[in-house]
């Protein structure tokens, strides 16, 4: 698929088709602007016929808008896989939250994305398509865009699809393309330790976000199966390495589940394990997932716990919940495959 290609790879592809070199840039820009093939006016019909099979194809099967201006889209790819992505409006601009896999195999007990397991990885171009869909809606040109940030926080674990995700990071941040700086990209993982080292060693500098959700291994194992593979201590060591290499402050996500991980003792333990690190904690009152019996704490309770963390010297905020009414909030995106 053309969206999987860098400008250089696309130039090679065009050369192999025996077409003039300038077509590569024309095609690259048309794709990035999210145009359908029949909307591109500067390409001849004979050329379009040659590339038709490789041109990005997806169908918009749902496009929902929330009261708070959050938007959610469900895109269907030719194999019937459906992925969900979200557009969030902030004061400084727009953020797109993309999915990196169709479903997820991490099995976290509170998350809707993992309910039906993993169907497949998304390619770099399929992840990029989600960004381009919203960029197109916002009527942006390549040089002037309202879309400022990307978060890899939808369905799937980005580090479980390392090669495609890192290729996507290169494509979305490349100067010829959308040119979104890696500083404005957040990658969230449940903590696949060896891949955190690899991300740092490969020279990436995105903001690393760790879904911690517990301050000791015993509790973490109860709610996140990945905790059986990697201890919190190992995750924090990998984070220290990432910080040393990139100088980027690490963010920790902590979704507050009523009666499970929300006691003052849990929060004091969280402060003690993070003490001395350059990091920030996002507290998220758990969002409801209808298949799960777990419930979130009140926002009031979350603010009390954030203040407690601050008092203990850890920078903390309570994440605004956005798009809950369209099931577009954290943990509400789903693995959907078209029934044939
Ligand atoms: N798999 C990656 C990317 C998902 S990001 C990761 O684990 O980081 C989505 C974030 O929302 C993660 O921190 C995830 O643990 C959290 N989350 C999942 N279900 C949730 C829910 N029901 N309410 C609030 N947060 C949830």
Specify the residue with its C-alpha closest to ligand 1, atom 21: 331
Nearest CA to ligand 1 atom 1: 157
Query: Contact at 8 Å (CB) between 118 and 337?
Result: no
User: pLDDT value at position 142?
Assistant: 65
CA–centroid distance, 9 to ligand 1, in Å, is 34
pLDDT score, position 146: 87
* pTM, two decimal places: 0.95
Q: What is the pLDDT of residue 62?
A: 92
Pocket of ligand 1 (CB under 6 A): 106, 108, 110-111, 153, 157, 188-190, 211, 253, 255, 284, 286-287, 289, 330-331
CA trace torsion 57, 52, 18, 128 (10° rounding): -10
Q: Which two tokens stand for residue 154?
A: 């939808």
DSSP state for residue 333 in the 8-state scheme: -
Please report the pLDDT score of residue 320 as a whole number: 84
To the nearest 10°, report the CA torsion of 141, 147, 149, 153.
Answer: -110
Could you identify the atom of ligand 1 that is nearest to the CA of residue 100? 3
The reported pLDDT for the residue numbered 339 is: 59
What is the pLDDT at residue 281?
98
Cα gap 131→169, rounded to integer Å = 12
Q: Is 126 exposed, middle or buried, given 0-12, 13-18 or 19+ CB atoms closer than 10 A?
A: buried
Centre of ligand 1 to C-alpha 56, Å, is 29
Ligand 1 centre to CA of 200 (Å) is: 22
β-strand partners of 79: none
List, run by run, the mean pLDDT of 10-residue segments along the chain (340 residues): 94 95 92 88 92 92 91 94 94 94 96 93 97 87 81 97 98 92 97 98 97 98 98 98 97 97 97 95 92 92 97 94 81 71
What separation in angstroms does the CA of 128 have from each of 5, 183, 292, 323? 11, 17, 31, 22
């Amino acid at each position: 698929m053309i969206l999987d290609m860098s400008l250089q790879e696309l130039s090679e592809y065009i050369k192999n088709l025996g077409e003039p070199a300038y077509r590569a840039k024309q095609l690259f820009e048309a794709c990035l602007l999210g145009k359908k093939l029949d909307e591109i006016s500067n390409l001849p019909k004979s050329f379009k016929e040659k590339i038709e099979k490789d041109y990005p194809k997806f169908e918009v099967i749902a496009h929902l808008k929330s009261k708070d201006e959050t938007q959610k889209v469900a895109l269907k790819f030719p194999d019937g896989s459906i992925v969900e992505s979200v557009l969030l409006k902030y004061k400084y601009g727009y953020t797109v939250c993309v999915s990196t896999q169709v479903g997820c195999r991490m099995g976290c007990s509170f998350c809707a994305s993992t309910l039906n397991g993993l169907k497949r990885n998304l390619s770099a171009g399929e992840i990029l398509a989600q960004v381009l869909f919203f960029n197109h809606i916002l009527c942006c040109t390549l040089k002037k865009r309202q879309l400022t940030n990307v978060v890899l926080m939808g369905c799937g674990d980005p580090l479980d699809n390392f090669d495609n995700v890192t290729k996507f990071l290169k494509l979305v941040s490349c100067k010829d393309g959308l040119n979104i700086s890696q500083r404005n990209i957040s990658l969230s993982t449940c903590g696949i330790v060896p891949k955190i080292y690899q991300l740092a060693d490969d020279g990436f500098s995105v903001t690393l976000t760790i879904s911690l959700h517990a301050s000791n291994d015993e509790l973490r194992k109860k709610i996140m199966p990945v905790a059986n593979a990697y201890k919190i201590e190992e995750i924090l060591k990998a984070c220290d390495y990432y910080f040393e290499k990139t100088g980027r402050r690490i963010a920790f996500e902590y979704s507050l589940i009523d009666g499970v991980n929300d006691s003052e003792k849990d929060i004091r333990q969280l402060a003690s394990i993070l003490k001395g690190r350059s990091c920030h904690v996002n507290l998220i009152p758990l969002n409801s997932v209808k298949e799960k019996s777990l419930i979130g704490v009140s926002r009031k309770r979350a603010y009390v716990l954030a203040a407690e963390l601050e008092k203990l010297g850890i920078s903390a905020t309570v994440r605004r919940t956005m798009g809950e009414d369209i099931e577009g909030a954290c943990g509400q995106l789903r693995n959907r495959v078209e029934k044939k």
